[in-house]
Amino acid sequence: MANPLVYADFQNLDDENRLRLTCAGTRRDLERQGIALREGMALTLYTDDADGEGQPDKLLADGFVQYNEAEKCWVAAIDWNAIRHEKDQERKLATTRSADSGEKRPEGNSLEPILSPRQDCLAASSSLEPPLLQGSHTKRRRNAQQLIDDRIIEGAPSFISAAVGNLTDEKRSPAVIEVLCRMPEEEYQQIRENHIWFFSPHPLVRGWNGRIPPNKSQIIYLPPLLETWCRKDCVIMVAHEVAHSLLGHTELSPNNTLEDETWSKVIQLGFGTEEQVREIRSLLGELNSGESGGYSDEQ
């Protein structure tokens, strides 16, 4: 996490539950690091707390700086669901490292509802170039810089588009990068020519109106909900939407035929095994419940 670390009083909130960046400790940290606050700046805020044994353990939250016009002060909008203790974070990183060699799936996992994070992903890495998933049988053929150069994803962090370095977009942008970096050359060129905008709004964006980026003509929408999925499932879902684009599906399918075709493409491209696809389809309600579901994730 490369954001500047700045103290904030987590009890000092404005009407919109944003942290006021006004207290003495905050000003001291800003001054010490030579930081001039500006709209949209990413910070990691901390406050002093203790662990279960009474030892000091900072509470951390990532946020974006905003200006509170009414109160004439700087505040930080943070994701209250993503607050963590510093020691937990260190432990998690250590787990990630040791778990890289093989992802284990706890028993009974497939029965979990799709809305909750799946256990095998709690140790998932969110780095820009994540390690290939177990079972992947395609290699990475290009890097994230190539995607930026080809104007498929943004180079600078963004509130709305898949981009390198998005602060709270830990699953969607890395999944887009992984899928596109592993895509065979022919399909990659096709995706390039489809001029897809990977619309991946920040979870705190409550609504949005704006222009479609100049060189884009198709949209793949990746909802914030995907941030609660495990990385593997998120990669498969992104691959699924990309497969729809490759197959020229831009209308809703009247039945599951297009879905069958799309999932076959996902498997053919090497983004999921038959078993993984069957599992995710049953979680999505595509397999057992007949007509219901199946489109809510789509287009």
Closest CB to Zn ion among 100 and 260? 260
d(CA 51, CA 20): 25
Q: Supply the minimum distance, in Å, between the C-beta of residue 290 and Zn ion.
A: 16
Q: What are phi and psi of 192, to 5 degrees?
A: -55, -45
Q: Supply the minimum distance, in Å, between the C-beta of residue 298 and Zn ion.
A: 5
Q: Supply the minimum distance, in Å, between the C-beta of residue 7 and Zn ion.
A: 46
Closest CB to Zn ion among 134 and 282? 282
Identify the CA nearest to 42 among candidates 79, 86, 85.
79
Dump the DSSP string for 142-205.
S-HHHHHHTTSSBSS--SSB-BTT-SS-SSHHHHHHHHHHHS-HHHHHHHHHHTEEEE---TT-
Q: Residues with Cβ < 8 Å from 256, sequence gap 6 or more?
A: 286, 294
In the bound complex, which residue of the shown chain has the CB atom lying closest to Zn ion?
298
Closest CB to Zn ion among 172 and 202? 172
Closest CB to Zn ion among 57 and 298? 298
Q: Supply the minimum distance, in Å, between the C-beta of residue 219 and Zn ion.
A: 14
**Burial of 210: CB neighbours in 10 Å, binned 0-12, 13-18, 19+:** exposed
**Binding-site residue total for Zn ion (CB under 5 A)?**
1
Closest CB to Zn ion among 46 and 197? 197
Q: Supply the minimum distance, in Å, between the C-beta of residue 130 and Zn ion.
A: 23
Residues 239 to 298 in contact with Zn ion, rule: CB under 5 A: 298
Token digits for 235? 């990669």
Closest CB to Zn ion among 9 and 261? 261
Closest CB to Zn ion among 230 and 280? 280
Q: Supply the minimum distance, in Å, between the C-beta of residue 240 and Zn ion.
A: 6
Q: Residues with Cβ < 8 Å from 192, sequence gap 6 or more?
A: 150, 152
Q: Supply the minimum distance, in Å, between the C-beta of residue 278 and Zn ion.
A: 15
Site string for Zn ion, 123-152 (x = CB under 5 A): ------------------------------
d(CA 143, CA 139): 11
Q: With contact defined as beta carbons under 8 Å apart, do 133 and 164 qualify?
A: no
- Interface residues with Zn ion (CB under 5 A) are 298
